[in-house]
Structure 1
Amino acid sequence: MLIKPCSLHNHNVSLSSELSYSRPFPCQLPPPRRTLNHPKVSVSCSISQVHSYGTVDYERRPMIKWNAIYKKISLIRNPELGSASVLNQWEKDGRKLTKWELCRVVKELRKYKRYKQSLEVYDWMNNRPERFRLSASDAAIQLDLIAKTHGVSSAEEFFLGLPDNFKDMRIYGALMNAYVRAKMREKAESLMDKMREKGYAIHPLPFNVMMTLYMNLNEYDKVDSVVSEMKEKGIRLDIYSYNIWLSSSGSHRSIEKMEEVYEVMKLDRAIHPNWTTFSTMATMYIKKREFKKAEECLRKVEARIIGRDRIPYHYLLSLYGSVGNKEEVYRVWKIYKSVFPSIPNLGYHAMISSLIRSGDIEGAEKIYEEWLPVKSSYDPRIANLLMTWYVKDGKLDNAESIFDHMIEEGGKPNSSTWEILAEGHMAERKISEALSCLNKAFAAEGSKSWRPKPINISTFFRLCEEEADSASKGMF
């Protein structure tokens, strides 16, 4: 199981990612339900991505043609054609597809959050039951994809349509993940009770997921209750349990309580603190402005980077930026670039964000210029970092210049991009321009889960009242 928090304050655990079984189940997965054809519903949440439900039997095989299939699907320009168009053409050309290849394609698509296309691959297999025998782990993956693509209600309908003898701990785990991502506390708690009844809650994973939910809801006392239940039932805390408990203690109680949990953790001989442990502690120390202790933890983070894992470098950049240690930001960046021949957009985002927080806007601009010729695609979130700083500094012209360059480069402004420009126009009391930008923010691609910042709503209304512009107020 992998903890991959989307922010410095969330520890996200995916229950079913750790349930590894490769044996197929004797019953056949039901054909796809109509719920899979519902319009896409965007669910915004902080829970981690589920990368594996145990379908690892294909991992040891060499890369054959799955990579070519993946590229063809990921490069489809017309999303309405769907993954099926690629798969049909592949077989029309006389090349037979295997389940192993298709599952490997799904894994790669999910890795890059292409959930709709992943689900379409499974739909294609479901429509050929005589060729593809799908297991409970496949059903768990489909449930996860349905929740992310069509929403929790569709995932529930899929769950109810599965045979009872097909619903093992992976299926329940996938549904629980969906509830936790959507912060549906009552449904998650009810499902946890069912898992207790069925004997599925005998290891730390489901408890970790519930602790993640309570963390995301700021119900820190319930995190302590889950820890107590685990101890009472003799369920040993794993590294993820301790990391969540550390974060909860630091957020809710005090640094002293967090340090007490860390001492308990050190006494557990089965536990070896990892880089996430120390990045969590560093985050809490930074919140309390104990920068010396934070930097001690960051040195421990760096000492625990194993293999070719990029994520710790992103955390190091972000946290050193929060400390304001520009020298360390540049040092880590230099090491990062020496280890990896190419840096993804996320790495550049972490670096530019850190430099801006450190007050080094010139350095941030240089890294932005460095990113442009090597970028894999134009990520508007990187431009948004500079635009935000320019607007806050009263330099709307600079922000608009970055915006124009984004359009020239083929980038697509997102809702936040337009909101940043709206903030700049409101600062200059340009109501009609601000309203136009806000309208475009609501119409931007992926805006279903976006909402303007409350401060911007109140600022716009106040500006309309001061300028006696009731028409713009009513229009907004």
Structure 2
Amino acid sequence: MVSLPGPAVNPFRPDFNGFSENKKPTGATNVNPVREESFPTDDEKVRRERKEQVNKKIASQKAISVILRREATKAVIEKKKGSTRLFPGTVLEALHERIAALRWESALKVFELLREQLWYRPNSAIYVKLIVMLGKCKQPERANSLFQAMIDEGCDVNQESYTALLSAYSRSGLFRKAFSILEEMKNTPNCHPDVYTYSILIKSCLHFHEFDKVQSLLSEMVSQGVNPNTVTYNTLIDAYGKAKRFADMESTLVEMLRQRECKPDVWTMNSTLRAFGGSGQIETMEKCYDKFLSAGIQPNIKTFNILLDSYGKTGNYKKMSAVMEYMQKYHFSWTLVTYNIVIDAFGRAGDVNQMEFLFRLMQSESIKPNCVTLCSLVRGYAQNGKAEKIGGLLRYIESSDVMVDTVFFNCLVDAYGMMGCLAEMKGVLVMMESKGCEPDKITYRTMIKAYNMNGMSNHVKELRLMLSSVGKSDSRR
């Protein structure tokens, strides 16, 4: 099997025996390795470093100017609410910035300010962007209000605007309304649903496990003369794989291969490998990998991360190291995801030294750890009874700007409970409060489990009361 790219530094200690032979995997003939003679000379390195420094200064100046302009825009918007004489660029920049950040309430306020301007002219493209944003923010009724406002202002209603509204309802699982919009589109000139419309609706149905609706939509597409494209099939394959509906996934892949205009791509490849690898079907995953390679589809960093994760979680450390070797050989740069996967794998394997080595290497590559990284380290230390190491990690977090959340603290609670460090486990609640994180049901259930194992019934009763109050507060929301 193939190996993963890593940094130029060998990520394994000399005594690690997990490497397989340095063989080029089947189907990898199209990957172009970097030749040794192609490395730059010292003069070229100096020139390159100087150029990079100049580019960094230019980029820094541009970034500062953008920040200053945004701050000025924000000040103008706040100061001149109700004004009808703002510059178009000022208002439009503020609007698009809020749309991109999915700040829907603020975006709607700026849009109202936009409509008050003397120079304002209705624009369907702006309405569509707002409707799409509201759909992503699970605000379908507000999206519908904007759709009606767009009609009232005389904007042309087309297939794109209808699809945006349909997407807003389907993202919230309101399929009755979404399907009624689909029917309305069929009966409206120049608004007939296309493959993009159907693909969006199919994706939402798959997300809510409405598989029967998916089949009816696919049949309807055929009857309407709308052929599924590669995106449609990839969406189906990915969703069926995640739901472990392997028969449906394979039949969809076969159907895709029958369509001459729909060729599998690396997205198809990654979805298939993730489905089989994630369910522990390693041999099937490897066969699929070889078939995709023979079809001319080249792997990317996501492909290798999937292989790493699959091998790591099934304990195939020799194959995992072979993938890493391959990545290093063909100069695939490691990402945060790659490091998280490998750190977790060595933690599971009980190799704390290797886990820590990779964490240091990650930092030397200027890749900032996240909560996933920290949770993997905590679990690795806990499995090997290294409570003092967790303390060191917590000191690192305090001195860094890494943001931690409730998920991390729940992992910490579980780790201390697993090692029988009940005082430290209780202290996590204090740490959560200092970081502004509230305990959830998982926090209390994990603590209850640890106290039960140690026969501390008094603490269990107290925590059960706290757990019940969390349930009530959730229901009120």
- Using the size of structure 1 for normalisation, the TM-score is 0.64
1:349 paired with 2:343, answer no
> C-alpha offsets along residues 308-353 of structure 1, whole Å, 9 cap, x if unaligned?
x7545544544454563312431354267x255xx55345335544
What do the CA deviations read for 1:428-476 (whole angstroms, capped 9, x no partner)? 556675455357658866979x863796376378579842233343234
SS at match of 1:270: coil
Inter-partner Cα distance in structure 1 for 2:214 and 2:451: 40
Check if 1:468 corresponds to 2:458: yes
Structure 2 CA distance, aligned partners of 1:460 and 1:153? 45
User: Hey, what does 2:321 align to over in structure 1?
Assistant: 327
Change in CA separation of 1:434 and 1:357 when aligned onto 2, cut-off 3 Å:
closer
Spell out, residue by residue over 1:63-82, the C-alpha distance to the aligned partner (whole angstroms, 9 max, x if none).
xx999676666799xx9x79
Cα separation, 2, equivalents of 1:129 and 1:67: 34
Q: Partner letter of residue 330 of structure 1?
A: M
Counterpart in the other structure of 1:171:
161
Q: CA deviation at 1:229?
A: 2.0
Q: Deviations over 1:177-203 (max 9, x none)?
A: 444444444444444444444464532
Q: Which residue of 2 aligns with 1:229?
A: 220
- Distance in 2 between residues matched to 1:227 and 1:361, nearest whole Å: 50
Q: 1:295 pairs with 286, 311, 321, which one?
A: 286
Q: Deviations over 1:272-296 (max 9, x none)?
A: 1011212222233235543223123
Which residue in the other structure is 2:132 paired with? 144
SS in structure 2 opposite 1:235?
Answer: coil
Looking at structure 2, the residues matched to 454 and 473 of structure 1 have their Cα atoms a distance apart, in angstroms, of 8
CA offsets 1:378-406 (integer angstroms, 9 cap, x no match): 52332222223333444343333223212
Q: 1:410 to 1:460 in 2, by over 3 A?
A: same
Are positions 1:212 and 2:203 aligned together? yes
Match of 1:126 among 90, 95, 114: 114
The residue matched to 1:422 in structure 2 has which SS? helix
- Cα distance, 1:345–1:467 mapped onto 2, change above 3 Å: same
Q: Which runs of 5+ in 2 are unaligned?
A: 1-57, 80-86, 468-477
Aligned-partner SS, 1:366 = helix
Match 1:375 to one of 351, 356, 366: 366
**Residue type at the aligned position of 1:115:** L
- How many Å separate the matches in 1 of 2:144 and 2:447? 35
Specify whether residues 121 and 381 from structure 1 end up closer, same or farther in structure 2 by C-alpha distance, changes over 3 A only: farther
Cα distance in 1 for partners of 2:215, 2:130 equals 33
Question: Which residue number corresponds to residue 393 of structure 2?
Answer: 402
Q: Is the 8 A contact 2:74 2:94 kept in 1?
A: no
What is residue 411 of structure 1 aligned with on the other side?
402
Partner residue of 2:379 out of 368, 379, 388: 388
Letter in 2 for 1:242: Y
Aligned to 1:422: 413
**Aligned counterpart, 1:35:** none
Q: For the residues of structure 2 that align with 1:454 and 1:218, how far apart are their CA atoms?
A: 30
Shift of 1:222: 2.9
Q: What are the superposed Cα offsets for residues 363-386 of structure 1, whole Å, 9 maximum, x if unpaired?
A: 443232122244365523322222
Q: Residues 67, 443 of structure 1: CA spacing in aligned structure 2 closer, same or farther, 3 A cutoff?
A: same
Q: Secondary structure at the match of 1:236?
A: coil
**After superposition, what is the alpha-carbon deviation per residue over 1:188-238, rounded to whole angstroms, capped at 9, x for unaligned?**
444444444446453222222222223222333332222222223221111
Contact 2:340 2:372 in 1 (8 A): yes
Please tell me the residue identity of whatever aligns with 1:381: V
Contact 1:275–1:305 (8 Å) recurs in 2: yes
CA-CA distance at 1:416 after TM superposition: 1.0
Note if contact 1:415-1:444 (Cα within 8 Å) is conserved in structure 2. Answer: no
- Looking at both structures, which has the greater relative contact order when contacts are Cα pairs under 8 Å and sequence separation is at least 6? 2
> Partners in 1 of 2:343 and 2:431 — Cα distance?
26
Quote the offset at 1:408 in angstroms: 1.0
Letter in 2 for 1:143: I
Count residues in correspondence. 393
CA contact (8 A) 2:242 2:275 kept: yes
Q: Decide whether aligned partners of structure 1 residues 156 and 100 sit closer, same or farther in structure 2, where only a CA change above 3 A counts.
A: closer
1-structure distance, mates of 2:144, 2:450: 40
> What is the distance in 2 between the residues matched to 1:446 and 1:297?
43
SS in 2 for 1:242: helix
Aligned with residue 102 of structure 2, among 92, 115, 121: 115
Cα distance in 1 for residues equivalent to 2:108 and 2:282: 49
Pair 1:262–1:220, CA change in 2 (3 A): same
Q: CA deviation at 1:150?
A: 8.2
TM-score with structure 2 setting the length: 0.64
Alpha-carbon distance in structure 2 between the residues aligned to 1:421 and 1:282: 31
Spell out the pairing of 1:438-449 with structure 2 (5 A cutoff). Answer: none
